[in-house]
């Protein structure tokens, strides 16, 4: 099977490296120094004391996805509209697109696009719903130098069709990821899992950008724990408004996050690197849904405003 990965940064590189090592024909679409290093020396993946180097095909030409049977999009959500038209035009007959990103995905509401996720509906128009397989991403990884990925933790990529069906294609992708060393369960209720992850991403990531705190530091005081609890309760209330019950209690979700320890969220890492933040797909989308469904989310609105300010200050300092 030929697999293209659009946005082969930390998560995309982790995924592509393992798939290439397992024998799949992999095309990584990347750019800049990271692309140049992979083309020259291959892609190195490290975890603890272990490492391996794979040599997938690497390019900056989006048209290369025309060869692929499966296309993983591992870009940050705000970068997807800029490439969606090219990806959609290049897809060959029968190819599917796995949206492996954080937040509410562009395909979540078949009859309604979220402006915060898919401005103008360009992604939904470019990549038809019948081509989409959903994915919730759990690994944490970073690019420690061009061409080198540090795999910090996690090995699960949950998969699911938008309608919950267990189709042959989603089972095939699951088998492929499992053979590459990942856990890849096929979920009939992927929408609930999206909200479970969002319960943390929509709250802890922005808090980290505003405060510069690690996950462990966020849970050190009762005051901060109370704030996090209130924010998560608002996210859960928005989920209920679209008929999703988050499958884990807020207290358990908080305990799990606190247990990760001295970890900087990806949003904090982006802020420190003076990059645009993945805020709208994580938090802006929740607020947009709340407006649509008539749910009060005052804490989330405040956090969104503060995080946008932190982003603006960081970008001005670049």
Which residue out of 76, 92, 183, 197 is catalytically annotated? 197
Assess contact for 127 and 97: CB atoms under 8 A: yes
Tell me, yes or no, if the pTM score tops 0.85. yes
Q: How far apart are CA 278 and CA 281, in angstroms?
A: 6
Which domains can be identified in the chain, with CATH numbers? 2-188 (3.40.50.720), 193-316 (1.10.1040.10)
Residues 6+ apart with CB under 8 A from 203: 228, 231, 232, 235, 283, 300, 303
The pLDDT mean for the chain works out to 95
Q: How far apart are CA 47 and CA 17, in angstroms?
A: 12
Using only C-alpha atoms, the chain has a radius of gyration, in whole angstroms, of 19
Say whether 166 is catalytic.
Answer: no
In 3-state terms, what secondary structure has residue 213? coil
Q: How far apart are CA 136 and CA 248, in angstroms?
A: 16
272 vs 102, 250, 318, CA distance in Å? 19, 29, 10
Assess contact for 157 and 137: CB atoms under 8 A: yes
* Angle, alpha carbons 272-274-276 (nearest 5°): 115
Neighbour order of strands in the sheet with 25-29: 57-59, 25-29, 2-6, 70-73, 96-99, 132-137, 157-160
pLDDT in tens, 37-80: 999 999 999 999 999 999 999 999 999 999 999 999 999 888 99
Q: pLDDT at position 116, please? A: 95
Q: How far apart are CA 160 and CA 171, in angstroms?
A: 9
pLDDT in tens, 77-117: 889 999 999 999 999 999 999 999 899 999 999 888 899 99
């Amino acid at each position: 099977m030929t697999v293209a990965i659009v946005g082969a940064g930390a998560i995309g590189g982790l995924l592509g490296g393992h798939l290439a090592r397992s024998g799949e024909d992999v095309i990584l679409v990347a750019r800049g120094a990271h692309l140049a290093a992979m083309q020259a020396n291959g892609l190195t993946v490290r975890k603890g004391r272990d490492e391996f180097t794979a040599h997938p095909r690497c390019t900056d030409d989006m048209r290369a996805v025309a060869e692929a049977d499966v296309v993983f999009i591992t870009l940050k959500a705000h970068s997807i509209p800029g490439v969606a038209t090219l990806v959609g035009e290049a897809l060959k007959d029968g190819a599917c697109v796995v949206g492996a990103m954080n937040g509410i995905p562009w395909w979540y509401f078949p009859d309604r696009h979220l402006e915060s996720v898919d401005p103008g509906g360009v992604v939904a128009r470019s990549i038809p719903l019948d081509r989409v397989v959903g994915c919730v991403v759990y690994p944490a990884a970073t690019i420690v130098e061009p061409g080198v990925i540090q795999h910090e933790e996690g090995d699960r990529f949950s998969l699911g069709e938008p309608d919950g069906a267990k189709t042959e294609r989603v089972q095939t992708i699951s088998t492929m990821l499992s053979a590459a060393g990942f856990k890849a369960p096929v979920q009939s209720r992927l929408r609930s899992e999206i909200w479970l992850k969002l319960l943390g991403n929509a709250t802890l990531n922005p808090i980290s950008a505003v405060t510069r705190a690690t996950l462990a530091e966020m849970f050190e005081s009762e005051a901060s724990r109370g704030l996090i609890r209130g924010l998560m309760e608002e996210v859960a209330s928005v989920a209920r408004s679209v008929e999703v019950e988050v499958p884990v209690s807020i207290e358990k979700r908080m305990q799990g996050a606190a247990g990760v320890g001295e970890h900087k969220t990806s949003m904090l890492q982006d802020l420190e690197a003076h990059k645009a933040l993945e805020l709208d797909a994580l938090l802006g989308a929740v607020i947009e849904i709340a407006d649509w469904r008539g749910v009060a989310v005052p804490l989330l609105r405040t956090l969104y405003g503060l995080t946008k300010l932190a982003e603006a200050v960081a970008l001005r300092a670049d």
